[in-house]
Chains A and B, each alone.
Chain A
Amino acid sequence: DGGITQSPKYLFRKEGQNVTLSCEQNLNHDAMYWYRQDPGQGLRLIYYSQIVNDFQKGDIAEGYSVSREKKESFPLTVTSAQKNPTAFYLCASSGTLYNEQFFGPGTRLTVL
C-alpha cells in the first residue's frame, strides 16, 4: 500500500538526549514536511524539503535538524537544544509544494 509511515509511534526521552524520528513515504512525492502539534493547538511547521538534498526552515526550526538524502526519507532530529520537545510530531508529503499534503500517523514524544 502507498503511504507515509512514521516510527516510533511513542518515544520517551530523557532531558539532554537527542532523538531521531523517522518518516518514510512511497508515494513518489518530491516535497516532505515536519510539523509539531501541541494540545489544543494547530500544526506548526518545523522544516520542509522541496526536493532531495534541499530543505528549508519553517516557523519553529530552533532545536531541530533534518536531512533529505533520499526522496523517500525525511528524518527529524530533536536536539537537546529544543527547550520544550514534548509534543505530537507529524510528517507530511505532497507531490510538489503546490499540491495537497498527506500526513503520516505521527510520533508522540515525551521528555521525562
Chain B
Amino acid sequence: RKEVEQDPGPFNVPEGATVAFNCTYSNSASQSFFWYRQDCRKEPKLLMSVYSSGNEDGRFTAQLNRASQYISLLIRDSKLSDSATYLCGLKYDAGGTSYGKLTFGQGTILTVHP
C-alpha cells in the first residue's frame, strides 16, 4: 500500500458546485498534513495546512480524521480558477529516518467548467 493515496480524478464539476477530495495515508505516525495546489507546468503552492480541529479558509475547508487515517479538502462554490491539481502532503514530525520528510500523493485533477 502506498504511503499516501489520492483519487487521481479527474473531477469535472460546474461552476458553483461543491467538491471534496480525500487523501488516505498508511502510517499512523504522520503528524502534519498539507494541501497544495499545482497549476499546469507550475510549482505547487501551499493552499492550507490541516489541523486536528479542522480549518477553513474562505471557500476551502480541510479536515483530518486520524482514526480512519485520511484528510479531506472541501471546495464550496467552485470557480473556474479553481481548476488545478490538488496534492496532499504529510510529514513525520517524530524522530527517526523519516523525520521532516514530506511525502506527497499523486494529486487529484479538478476541472471546473462554465
Chain A positions near chain B (C-beta within 8 angstroms)? 31, 33, 40-43, 45, 48, 50, 58, 88, 90, 97-98, 100-106
Give the contacting residue for A90; candidates B43, B99, B105; CB below 8 A.
B43
What are the residues of chain A within 8 A of B104 when measuring CB–CB? 42-43
Residue count of chain B within 8 Å CB distance of chain A: 23
Chain A residues with CB under 8 A of B107: 42
Main SS class of interface, B: strand
Query: For the complex, what is the distance from the CA of A50 to the CA of B97, rounded to whole Å?
Result: 13
- Of B11-19, B44-52, B63-71, B73-81, the one contacting chain A is B44-52
Could you tell me if A105 and B100 are in contact, using CB atoms closer than 8 angstroms? Answer: no
Asked if B106 and A100 sit within 8 Å, CB to CB, the answer is: no
Counting CB contacts under 8 A, is B87 at the interface? yes
Q: CA separation between A40 and B100, bound complex, in Å? A: 25
Contact across chains for A98 and B93 when beta carbons are under 8 A apart = yes
Q: A42-B106, A101-B102, A106-B43 are in contact. List 8 more A-B contacts (CB 8 A).
A: A40-B8, A43-B44, A43-B87, A45-B102, A90-B44, A97-B100, A103-B44, A105-B43
Q: In the complex, which of the residues B4, B43, B45, B99 contacts A97, with contact meaning CB atoms closer than 8 Å? A: B99
User: Which A residue's beta carbon lies closest to that of B92?
Assistant: A97
Residue from the list A41, A50, A98, A101 in contact with B46, Cβ < 8 A:
A101
Residues of B within 8 A of A50 (CB): 100
Q: A108 to B24, alpha carbons, bound, how many Å?
A: 29
The reply to whether A40 and B106 contact each other, CB–CB distance below 8 Å, is yes
Asked if residues A58 and B101 are in contact (CB atoms below 8 Å), the reply is yes
Assess the A103–B45 pair: CB atoms within 8 A.
yes
Residues from chain B with Cβ under 8 Å of A102 in the complex? 46
The answer for the CA separation of A45 and B103 in the assembled complex, in Å, is: 8
B43, B93, B103, most chain A CB atoms within 10 A: B43
- Please, how many angstroms separate the alpha-carbon atoms of A50 and B95 in the complex? 14
Q: Hey, which chain A residues are within 8 Å of B44, CB to CB?
A: 43, 90, 103
- Is B34 interfacial (CB-CB < 8 Å)? yes
Q: Is there an interface contact between B46 and A100, defined as CB atoms closer than 8 Å?
A: yes
Chain B residues lying within 8 Å of A43, measured Cβ to Cβ, are: 44, 87, 104
Alpha-carbon gap, A31 to B101, bound state (A): 11
